[in-house]
Amino acid sequence: MRITVNGTAHDLPDVDPQTPLLWVLRDNLQLTGTRYGCGKGLCGSCTVHMDGMPVRACQLPMSATEGRGITTIEGLSKDGDHPLQDAWREHQVPQCGFCQAGQLMSAAALLEQNPKPTDKDIDAAMTGNICRCGTYQRIRAAIHTAADAADSTDQGDSKEGQR
Amino acid sequence: MRAATSEIWSRRDFLKALAAGGGVLIASCADSDGAVFTGRDKLDPESWVLHDFLWLAPTGLVTILAHRSEMGTGIRTALPMVVADEMEADWDQVAIKQAIGDSRYGDQNTDGSNSIRGNFERMRRLGAAARDVLERAAAAVWEVDVRTCKASNHKVEHAASGRSLGFGELVEVAIELKPQGKSAIQKRLKDRKDWRYIGIGVGGYDMDAIVTGSAVFGGDIRLPNMLFASIERSPVLGGEVAKYDKSAALAVAGVEQVIELPFITEEPFMFQALGGIAVLARDSWSAMQGRAALNASWKTGAANASFSSDSYNQAMMESVRKPGTKTKDRGDVEAGLAGAAQKVEAEYSIPLLAHACMETPTATAEVTEEGCQVWSPTQNPQAVQDTVAQTLGLSKKAVTAHVTLLGGGFGRKSKPDYTAEAALLARETGRPVQVLWTRADDLQHDYYHAVSAQRMEAGLDDQGMPVAWLQRAAYPSIASTFGAGSTGPAGFELGMGFHNMPVAAPAMRTETGIAKPHVRIGWLRSVANIQHAFAVSSFADEIAAAGKHDSYQAWTKMLIGKKTSGPSKHIQRLLDVSEAAASAGEWGKELPRGRGLGFAAHHSFDAYIAVVVEVEISKAGELRIPRVDIAADVGTVVHPDRVRAQMEGSVNFGLSQALFGKLTALNGVIEQTNFDGFRLLRLHEAPPQINVHLTASDGTPTGVGEPGVPPIAPALCNAIFAAIGKRVRDLPVDPHDLSWS
Ligand code: FES
Ligand code: FES
């Protein structure tokens, strides 16, 4: 079947359509930025966007992506300069970094829906993403920073352009 | 099933495929020692090389070897930063190259919070030696006195004439010069007021790679013609397979081979591959599907099948209720207890804990006629080298251990059992193999943090101060992983806050009880300090409560004891951080019922840490942690932001352990298989505020990665007591009823 990731269509005739998207990304498309942490939808390490909505790639059969657009961390921004990526740098959020692609993708989806999230909104949107290193306080701060940055620089519809 | 060996690509095919945009992730654009994995750290052959640790290219690019592993502490940045500082290199012109495992680099075991402790001065000398050579090179070029040449910001300057030469321009001359020895260089170290990065910090070297998804962790290695393996191991440690359906596994699409790895049935298990049924496939998912189809069953009668947490934990607690093996005895404890104005007793327990790094164990190996190459997220590449060499019967030299980034380590990845698995399978198949552990594998076959039981007794005088102190501990020892016949705590474990607990009591005795191992026991971030600090700091709080004293005030009195000469330097540092935490955490502020502050302090890995945790508990028993203040004396702070990050991480790690950390065994099998059973702290449960207070110090740098963890659990439980009067002595907190009215 055909799958569209970060704007590029790939034909994968040999892959069982029931294969979870996570493994298609990692093992067939070599997009290893999306990570395996639990395989059961419990940790968020594998979070990607499907048509802008956050999904757990380990729980999503490839067949469910037919006709949809998938965005991975590699496609979050063209030059690694999504406001969240900049905020992550500013706050030096990552420790080991393993969970951070998933954290960024969850946070990016949150800001798309809700450009000015409160702490409560952040709690709700980010609770599915475990960070074993414990970078939670910086994640929260960085999301606020990115939201503020977007607030002060854009007055309108640039959200779509971020991808 | 396809033939294993006929399809191996040659290296040249591989490179051709790459050039043609074959989409294969490059694992190794290897330089002479093959250490490179990101391609950003390629060495210029024209470089001047210093001690095999530092390369200066004619372009001015300085490449510094990171010989320790990056698991999230920032060490891959911090040690090269120290070198750059002493060298007067500009950080923007520094590249970092990750070392392979090689004893010529010295100790590489990134464990025991030891990287800065063991390498700070050494890396300073390396940088200073480089600066020294470059200044001499410039002096030679200008034919002036070397004392008039000064390295500054990537160039050497001659103030009198206003001349300067960039570092890169000095390469040719530097190559001809001999670096000075250790004692000469010692005198050339910078004055600390001239440090440009030490004590200030730089951004994480891997930051861009992490936020854009290009960072290379263990499971990201892709070699041509590689097989992906998933291994079914015995659910009971030391058990053996009875039968499995090999053909069903092979019938799964994508599965290519099924290989039985020999089962290790006897302790000590050490770093050996446990054995199991490996299913190898063209991708990870097919391998996991094939593995499920094995439908393996296991022989009964494995010795460790007797291990069930309920009965085991009870027996362990029974053993500390009786006199055990005396390990320290001072004064007359019996008389002190008998004659005390008041007696306090308490029993504490902590369950088995898993490391649960976000990245599960994974390793990639390739065996050729020349030997074996492995790529793994390892804290200890030299142990990888040793273990793989032993496993395959190769010489150590024939094993190249590459180090990727680690998706967390916490002590788990010091043990290279998973690399041994990959090496065995690579040899059997003749193809590169990547082994990936599932989360269930990780939780069920860890080197666990030991389950523990402790009993404390104290006799108090009429001031509420201890005159006699008895503590007993039982837990299976880490030593059991390395030698058969262990029955309880070992001396090195007791030295982590048990024998050397800081409370002054005229009479004191420590004893150990019986606890035999039934799973592999290993070191987890801060190791035995976890249980010892929990017991000592909780008990100190109980003593204060028994005497109706303020907990923090009582703690300071207990540390000083009856000594009239004043506290030792060691105790003074603990007192100082205690005061820092108490004052920053607003100790003593009035709080309504349901809210409370808890205090704990602990010394480990040379560091002094004190914590105040604030809790808020609803009548229904819902717990919130609005704020944690953590004060740390870690000696000289080399990279302040990373020290802060480690303290923040330690708070969250400690809270995760205290609130939820619990694994249980039934008939030898660990019952939790994922994060639904083994809960970890999540963002909405993490304190909104963690305030880190670092002591300004010019002392020797201490450990940082671990010492923040031990005081967290007792401070939390003490806070719960302060808030609602309920005492949590058996962790985790989560199952306890914290409701109040
Ligand atoms: S790997 Fe998908 S949620 Fe954990
Ligand atoms: S940064 Fe290590 S798991 Fe989040």
Q: Indicate whether A22 and A70 sit together in one domain.
A: yes
CA of residue A94 to ligand 2 center, whole Å: 6
Same-domain status, B263 and B381:
yes
Q: Which residues of B touch A23 (CB under 8 A)?
A: 283-285
Indicate whether B535 and B631 sit together in one domain: yes
pTM here?
0.95
Could you say which of A30, A42, A94 has the minimum Cβ distance to residue B674? A42
Which H helix or E strand runs over B66?
strand B62-66
Q: Are residues B580 and B617 in the same domain?
A: yes
B735: in domain = no
Q: What is the pLDDT, as a whole number, of residue B39?
A: 43
The shortest C-alpha distance from B395 to chain A (Å) reads 32
Report the domain count for chain B: 3
Residue contacts between A and B (CB atoms, under 8 Å): 195
Q: Separation of B406 CA from ligand 2 center, angstroms?
A: 10
Same domain, A91 and A144: yes
Give the position of tokens 């372009």. B59
**CA separation for the pair B54, B66 (Å, rounded):** 10
The whole-angstrom separation of Cα B38 and Cα B42 is 9
Q: What DSSP assignment string belongs to B713-729?
A: HHHHHHHHHHHHS----
Instruction: Give the three-class secondary structure for B343.
Output: strand
| Percentage of chain A modeled with pLDDT above 70 | 93
Q: Are A98 and B217 inside 8 Å of each other by CB? A: yes
Residue A159 lies in a domain: no
Q: Do A73 and B213 touch (CB under 8 A)?
A: yes
Position B41 scores a pLDDT of 54
**A83 interaction partners in chain B (CB closer than 8 Å):** none
A57 in any annotated domain: yes
Does the residue B1 lie in any domain?
Answer: no
Tokens at B731, concatenated:
């962790």
Whether residues A62 and A109 share a domain: the answer is no
User: Do A46 and A21 reside in the same domain of the chain?
Assistant: yes
**pLDDT, tens digit, 9 for 90 and up, residues A11-49:** 999 999 999 999 999 999 999 999 999 999 999 999 999
Query: Are B712 and B563 within one domain?
Result: yes
Are A69 and A87 found together in one domain?
no
CB B712 within 8 A of CB B658: yes
- Ligand 1 atom with the smallest distance to the CA of A58 is 2
Together in a domain, B415 and B538: no
Q: How close is the nearest chain A Cα to the Cα of B287, in Å? A: 11
Q: What's the rounded Cα separation, in Å, for the pair A43 and B656?
A: 14
Same domain for A6 and A71: yes
Mean pLDDT of B394-398: 97
Q: Are residues A92 and A145 in the same domain?
A: yes
DSSP-H helix ranges across A40-113: 83-90, 100-113
Please check the confidence at residue B612 and state whether its pLDDT lies above 50. Answer: yes
pLDDT digits (tens, 9 = 90+) for B500-532: 999 999 999 999 999 999 999 999 999 999 999
Six-digit token string for B514:
């019986």
Domain range for residue A57?
A: 2-75
Please determine, for residue B407, whether its predicted confidence score (pLDDT) is greater than 70: yes
Query: Taking residues B655-675, what's their average pLDDT?
Result: 98
Q: What is the pLDDT of residue A154?
A: 54
- Same-domain check for residues A89 and A141: yes
Ligand 2 mean position, distance from CA A129 (Å): 10
Instruction: Say how many CA atoms lie within 13 Å of B51 toward its Cβ.
Output: 22
Q: Do A34 and B213 touch (CB under 8 A)?
A: yes
B630 and B707 in contact (C-beta within 8 Å)? no
Q: Are residues B552 and B663 in the same domain?
A: yes
- Domain stops at, among A22, A56, A75: A75
Among all bound ligands, the one having the nearest atom to the CA of B676 is 1
Is the pLDDT confidence value at A158 over 80? no
Same domain, B274 and B339: no
Residues with CB under 6 A from ligand 2: A 94-100, 131-133, 135; B 72, 358, 408
CB of B594 within 8 A of CB of B617?
yes
Which atom of ligand 2 is nearest to A96's Cα? Answer: 2
Pocket flag, ligand 1, residue A128 (CB < 6 Å): no
Contacts of B593 (CB under 8 A, 6+ apart): B723, B724, B740
Which of B358, B406, B439, B442 should be mutated for ligand 2, with most atoms under 8 A from CB?
B358
Residue B441 within a domain: no
Q: What's the CATH code of the domain at B49? A: 3.30.365.10
- Alpha-carbon distance of B150 to A63, in angstroms, equals 65
Residue B406 belongs to some domain of the structure: yes
Q: Taking CB atoms and an 8 Å cutoff, what residues of chain B touch A132?
A: 356-358, 408, 410, 653, 656, 680
SS3 content of chain A, % helix, strand, coil (to 5): 40, 15, 45
Which ligand is closest in space to the CA of residue A47? 1
Report the separation in Å between the CA atom of B407 and the middle of ligand 2, taken as the mean of its atom positions: 7
From the CA of B210, how many Å to the nearest CA of chain A? Answer: 6
Same domain, A53 and A106: no
Number of domains within chain A: 2
Structure-block tokens of residue B11: 């290296």
Please tell me the predicted confidence (pLDDT) of residue B24.
34
Q: Do A39 and B214 touch (CB under 8 A)?
A: no
Question: Of the candidates A40, A97, A139, which has its C-beta nearest B215's C-beta?
Answer: A97
Q: Of ligand 2's atoms, which has the minimum distance to the CA of residue A134?
A: 4
Identify the domain boundary among A58, A75, A92.
A75
- B601 within a domain of the structure (yes/no): yes
For residue B440, the CA-to-ligand 2 centroid distance in Å is 19
Nearest CB partner across the interface for B405, out of A97, A101, A124: A97
Which CATH number do you get for residue A120?
1.10.150.120
pLDDT above 70 for B19: no
Is B213 in contact with B25 (CB distance < 8 Å)?
no
Residue B235 lies in a domain: yes
Domain of B117 in residue numbering reads as 8-212
Distance A58 CA to ligand 1 centre (A): 5
Number of the ligand 2 atom closest to the C-alpha atom of B358: 3
Task: For residue B175, give the H/E element and its range.
Answer: helix B171-176
- Are A141 and A102 part of one and the same domain? yes
Using one digit for the tens of pLDDT, what is the confidence trace for B221-263? 999 999 999 999 999 999 999 999 999 999 999 999 999 999 9
Contact B541, B458 (CB under 8 A): no
Residue nearest to atom 4 of ligand 2 (CA): A131
Q: Are B79 and B704 in contact (CB under 8 A)?
A: no
Question: Is residue B199 a contact partner of residue B638, using CB atoms and an 8 Å limit?
Answer: yes
C-beta of residue B498 within 8 angstroms of C-beta of residue B460: no
Atom number in ligand 1 closest to CA A39: 1
pLDDT of residue B126: 98
Instruction: Tell me what pLDDT residue A153 has.
Output: 65
In a domain, B708, yes or no: yes
Mean residue pLDDT across chain B = 94
Of B376, B407, B436, the position where a domain reaches its end is B436
Q: Domain holding A25: CATH number? A: 3.10.20.30
Q: How far is the CA of B546 from the centre of ligand 2 (A)?
A: 41
pLDDT of B369-378, one tens digit each?
A: 999 999 999 9
Task: Identify whether A157 is part of a domain.
Answer: no
In this structure, the answer to whether residues A139 and A90 fall within a common structural domain is yes
Whether residue B25 and residue A30 make contact (CB cut-off 8 A), yes or no, is yes
Q: Examine the domain organization and report whether B202 and B235 are in the same domain.
A: no
**Residues of chain A with C-beta less than 8 angstroms from the C-beta of B682:** 127-130, 136
Within a domain: residue A91? yes
Residue A129, in any domain of the structure: yes
Q: What is the predicted ipTM? A: 0.95
Euclidean distance between CA atoms B503 and B554, whole angstroms: 11
Residues A70 and A7 in one domain: yes
Per CB-CB distance under 8 Å, the chain B contacts of A142 are: none
